[in-house]
Amino acid sequence: MKRLFIIGAGFSKAIANAPLANGFIRAIYDRVLKEDENYQHSANWPHDRDYFIKLLTYFHESAIPLINWLEKDDDKKILNRNFEEFFNSLNIEFVCSFLDLHIKHYFIPEAKGVDLQGCPIPFINGFHKSELESALKFIMHHMLDLLLEENLEINETVFDKMSSLFQEKDMIINFNYDLLVDKMLWKRQLWNPFDGYGFDFDKGENTNVLKSKIQMINIHGSINWRSPDIFFHPNLELAIDHPFKNRPLFERLRIPKSLYDKEKYRYYPLYSHVILPTFAKSPQYIWEMQLINNSINFCKTAEELYILGYSVPDADYITNLLFLELNKDVKINIILWDIHNNAAVQLGERLIKKYGFKYKNLVYENTPIEKWIENDFNFIAYDEYLKEQADIEQILRAVGDSKKK
């Protein structure tokens, strides 16, 4: 049976405590408070940092009057669903979408006899377009930096056990930027980065690697897809060496000699070929279109689907194309958990209503991914859910029979 895995941020959260969409901004801000010394000599980086803080100050000051008004009547704090102050849940998808709107669709005034095309005025009062671009660059760097292996808290037991689930000829669509799944497959010798992403990358001196037996599509790009000058170099390149250390990203690979002093450039912006989490996604390069096309082909041939830690958010418009290509009889296993609601069941109901999948073919495992892995990939929560439904139906039948009497 041809299996397709769709992997989202909840997977990386479970395996390595990576930030979720509503945790990145707070994590970046916490770093900023400790980084004054590090960024003193890093070109324009201190200014980028200042514009990031200016942006957060804008959000904070915009929300505070309304929050204070809501809190004054009953003397209660307005908290997010994790019982944190509102500012702590600032979602990175919202921030990037907000910046995208004002950077790409800024207001340009028109006037007779005067060329004002070089004087863009964004819709945000008090900001220039270049300041917003700097803030976005700062966010991108830290988002990628936070996902480097040394900044994650990998649960080695769960990591090793999860890697055992993957088999030859499995297909993977990965919505994350990190290298967790990549390293799982590499460790099992099922995959290599030179031909396993769907592109043919230069192997350099690594001529003896085994051919990939699994194909993985990093639909939003990856930390190790980068080039020296990303803004003027649209071609996709693979980096197998760590951006800030002279060691390979994958064990045993031979890395090329670095073209720059990595220690000196540790506090310069990290550029990778990634599609930022924004509602305004717009593919710019041929390789981005190829990722979408390959993903669609995966969906056309899939016979069983695993959705791991992926809630199908509105910001991922591409999922509409993918789910429409899936066979309506495909078996779908949803492993998704949210402490505040029955997330797996809710997602399943959305898939049935929106795409026409069959209820009988959906399995809902509303449990943390790490728990599902520890349970040897058994659907214990789903079995309990079925038992509860059967008990409810039995009670309803009993009530109905009593009323007839």
pLDDT for the residue 116: 55
Residues 123 and 197 in one domain: no
From 104, 121, 146, the end of a domain falls on 146
Query: How confident is the model over 83-97, as a mean pLDDT?
Result: 76
pLDDT per residue over 301-323, tens digit each? 999 999 999 998 876 778 888 99
CA pseudo-torsion sign 94, 97, 99, 102:
negative
157-201 residue pLDDT tens: 999 999 999 999 999 999 999 999 999 999 999 999 999 999 999
pLDDT in tens, 313-372: 876 778 888 999 999 999 999 999 987 788 999 999 999 999 999 999 999 999 999 999
Pairing, β 304-308 against β 215-218:
unpaired
pLDDT value of residue 230: 45
Same domain membership, residue 158 and residue 115: no
Please state, in angstroms and rounded to a whole number, the distance separating the CA atoms of residues 97 and 102.
9
pLDDT above 80: residue 27: yes
- Claim to verify: residue 124 and residue 243 sit in the same structural domain: no
Of 275, 311, 347, whose CA–CA distance to 97 is shortest? Answer: 275
Same domain, 35 and 121: yes
Q: At what angle do helices 45-72 and 129-146 cross, to 10 degrees?
A: 90
Domain boundary among 146, 168, 197: 146
Find where tokens 């990634």 sit. Answer: 274
Mean pLDDT for 90-104 is 86
Residues 182 and 308 in one domain: yes
Go through 24-61 and write b for each residue having 16 or more CB atoms within 10 A of its CB, e for each that does not.
Answer: bbbbbbeebeeeeeebeebeebbebbebbeebbebbee
pLDDT in tens, 216-270: 999 999 999 976 554 445 678 899 999 888 899 999 999 988 767 777 777 677 7
Closest among 307, 311, 384, 320 to 354, alpha carbons compared:
320
Any bridge partners for residue 6, and if so which?
A: 173, 307
Which is higher by pLDDT, 16 or 121? 16
108 pLDDT higher than 80: no
Examine residue 225 and state whether it is found in any structural domain, yes or no: yes
- The count of structural domains within the chain is 2
Domain endpoint, select from 120, 146, 172: 146
Same-domain pairing of 127 and 229: no
Q: Which domain holds residue 41?
A: 24-146
Residues 30 and 48 in one domain: yes
Sheet strands side by side (includes 331-335): 215-218, 171-174, 3-7, 304-308, 331-335, 362-365
Mean pLDDT calculated for residue range 211-219: 96
- Kindly state whether residues 233 and 203 are assigned to the same domain: yes
272 and 133 within one domain: no
- Judgement on whether residues 185 and 232 belong to the same structural domain of the protein: yes
Do residue 43 and residue 62 come from a single domain? yes
